[in-house]
Amino acid sequence: MQILNFTRNSLEEFLTGQGFKRFKAEQVMQWIYQKKVFSFEGMTNLSRQDRETFSQIFEITPLPEPQIFKSKDGTRKLTFTLEDGNVVEAVIIPEEKRQTLCISTQAGCPLRCAFCRTGSLGFSRNLEVREIVGQVIAAEMVLEESGQRLSNLVFMGMGEPLLNFDNLLKSIDILMDDFGLNFSNRRITVSTAGIADRIVELGERTNVNLAVSLHAVNDEKRSRIMPVNERFGLKQLLDALKGYPVGRKMIVLEYVLLNNFNDLPEDALALAKIAKLLDAKVNLIPFNTFPGAKFEPTPMKKILEFQNLLVAKHVTALIRKSRGGDELAACGQLGRLKHNGDKDA
């Protein structure tokens, strides 16, 4: 059994069922997540007997050592080759005062958004809890070498988090646990392409921030670039977002700008209306192109005009700086391709 797939509650339940004291779960979690000790032998405050029994019951297998590709702007892409040959990626994005990790939840993605390289590569499988949390452990270990720490986590890497819902919830549980990785809810954002029937449940069962890949303001355009819109149309999505219990959380609308497709003044005005309806902020994302992409990036002058239209309607709209483009580590560029753009054999 992989111990990294257990939340604290499930580990406590399992261990007490085996006759162990409840607090053993806390001790073991602290060793793994906080001291990064991955063998029971090294857990010196456990009795010899416990160490031996735990070694017989559990495996502690974090992700294999990643290959690290560093981009000129300091962004680091961590590429993990899993035991079954699947490749997943996580990206450490350095900013002035913080280090954000972009996490993957699936190997590939079934949603096939037209502007996304990951989607163009197809879907392989959901990641296990240990493979999701393992990306955070690995990134922390990489940063530790330079005396830095992760400050924010965004579920915006490969895959649609809400299609791996149970494992997403368990991972968030471990990430926020005092005996786990101890992140505050305000530092965690889950991004969805619009799986409307899970959005409210996510809000009820966690208190993390939500980002929604909106990218178009009517069904006709949205369905052309995001096939998921055929399943959950804009009205259903907006209804779900209206029902997202916000409180201390925040909703951000992500909007990738595709030249002469969704970057017209009428798009900006309709986007402003939606943002006001949801009391949401808007992140404008310059399109990161990739080989075979069907769209062109909107020129920066036009992006600024688009932003001004939103601001004039009193909507907070930021332009997200593109990071890591030279190492295919930027938004929508992750995929099981080698960093030089050649397909894996």
Query: Rule CB under 6 A: which residues touch ligand SF4?
Result: 109, 111-113, 116, 118-119, 158-160, 193, 213, 332
Catalytic residue among 89, 131, 140, 160: 89
The yes-or-no answer on residue 89 being catalytic is: yes
Nearer to ligand SF4 by Cβ, of 122 and 299: the residue is 122
CA distance 89 to 100: 14
Extract the tokens encoding 270.
């309709």
Nearer to ligand SF4 by Cβ, of 152 and 213: the residue is 213
CA distance 189 to 261: 28
Chain-centroid distance of CA 182 in Å reads 17
Among 218, 249, 36, which Cα is nearest to 143's? 36
* CB of residue 332 to ligand SF4, shortest distance in Å: 6
3-class state of residue 77 by DSSP: strand
Nearer to ligand SF4 by Cβ, of 15 and 282: the residue is 282
CB of 60 within 8 A of CB of 80? no
CB of 179 within 8 A of CB of 26? yes
- Chain residue whose CB lies nearest ligand SF4: 119
CA distance 164 to 172: 12
Nearer to ligand SF4 by Cβ, of 102 and 275: the residue is 102
Question: Rg of the chain over CA atoms, in angstroms?
Answer: 21
DSSP codes joined into one string, 42-60: G-TTS-HHHHHHHHHH-B-
Chain-centroid distance of CA 135 in Å reads 10
Nearer to ligand SF4 by Cβ, of 109 and 268: the residue is 109
Catalytic residues: 89, 331
